Amino acid sequence: MKPIIAPSVLASDFANLQSEVEMLNESQADWLHIDIMDGRFVPNISFGFPVLQAIQRHAIKPLDVHLMIVEPELYIEQFREAGAEIISVHLEACNHLHRTIQQIKATGAKAGIALNPHTSVQLLDDVIADVDLVCLMSVNPGFGGQKFIENTYRKIESLKNLIIARNSKALIEIDGGVNQQNTPLLLEKGADALVAGSFVFNSADPLKTIANLKNQA
Ligand code: DX5
Ligand code: ZN
């Protein structure tokens, strides 16, 4: 199976957002990964609803929204209205994760949980059957262009085992430092979806880079 490719719009040229989104429309990308940062959960601020809505106006592919914010439960419905198809919240940001997952599903969106590099996948044991996606952070969230953390391979294996043991349908998404070099092993370990920001947008030919990620397996 070919991986789902989700380029991260964070690394795009915001001054030319429409043409960047149109490029992704034409490309072999499956989803658009949207990084929302609040300056509290992570030490950076990205963008909010007006920009997300601008992306939605031009995008023809599902918006995979990654919330790096505290108290995400306050904004779930608003993100859904702004066009999110998949909404992922951080386990570390949720006191009532089970409730927040149900809240996301009630909007009709797919529900994802993101895990920081230090967070054990075993903490998902009691919710894995309820979620559509687990986003394993392979960098510390907050910035694009960081170095891939090698321990991620081990986490994919553990998560895959948990998904099988609990009969879950959750997809495994890898986010941070993804490139052509680490993709084969990520897929071999069981990754389903790959987020790539700087590797795509800093390349000479983003369309070709996306196609290579999609078809190299
Ligand atoms: C990091 C974000 C990532 C980031 C990936 O906090 O969640 O989605 O945009 O960027 P690269 O691929 O450059 O590591
Ligand atoms: Zn992300």
What are 89-120's pLDDT values in tens digits?
Answer: 999 999 999 999 999 999 999 999 999 999 99
Query: Residue 165: its pLDDT value, please?
Result: 98
126 belongs to the catalytic site = no
Distance in Å, CA 121 to ligand 2 centroid: 17
The string of pLDDT tens digits covering residues 126-181 is 999 999 999 999 999 999 999 999 999 999 999 999 999 999 999 999 999 999 99
Question: What pTM did the predictor assign?
Answer: 0.98
- Strand ranges in 49-132 using DSSP code E only, listed in sequence order: 63-68, 84-90, 110-115
35 belongs to the catalytic site = yes
Query: Residue 216: its pLDDT value, please?
Result: 83
Rounded CA separation 173/133 (Å): 7
Rounded CA separation 176/197 (Å): 8
Return the ligand 1 atom nearest residue 44 CA: 6
Contacts of 125 (CB under 8 A, 6+ apart): 162, 166
For residue 101, count other CB atoms closer than 10 A to its CB: 20
Tell me the CATH number at 202. 3.20.20.70
Distance in Å, CA 197 to ligand 1 centroid: 6
Token pair listed for 169: 């349908």
Q: What residue type is 88 in one-letter code?
A: S
Return the ligand 1 atom nearest residue 179 CA: 12
Q: Which listed residue (35, 38, 132, 192) is catalytic?
A: 35
| Structural domain that includes position 12 | 4-214
pLDDT band of residue 55 (cuts 50, 70, 90) is: very high
Distance in Å, CA 47 to ligand 2 centroid: 13
Query: Residue 140: its pLDDT value, please?
Result: 98
What is the number of structural domains in the chain? 1
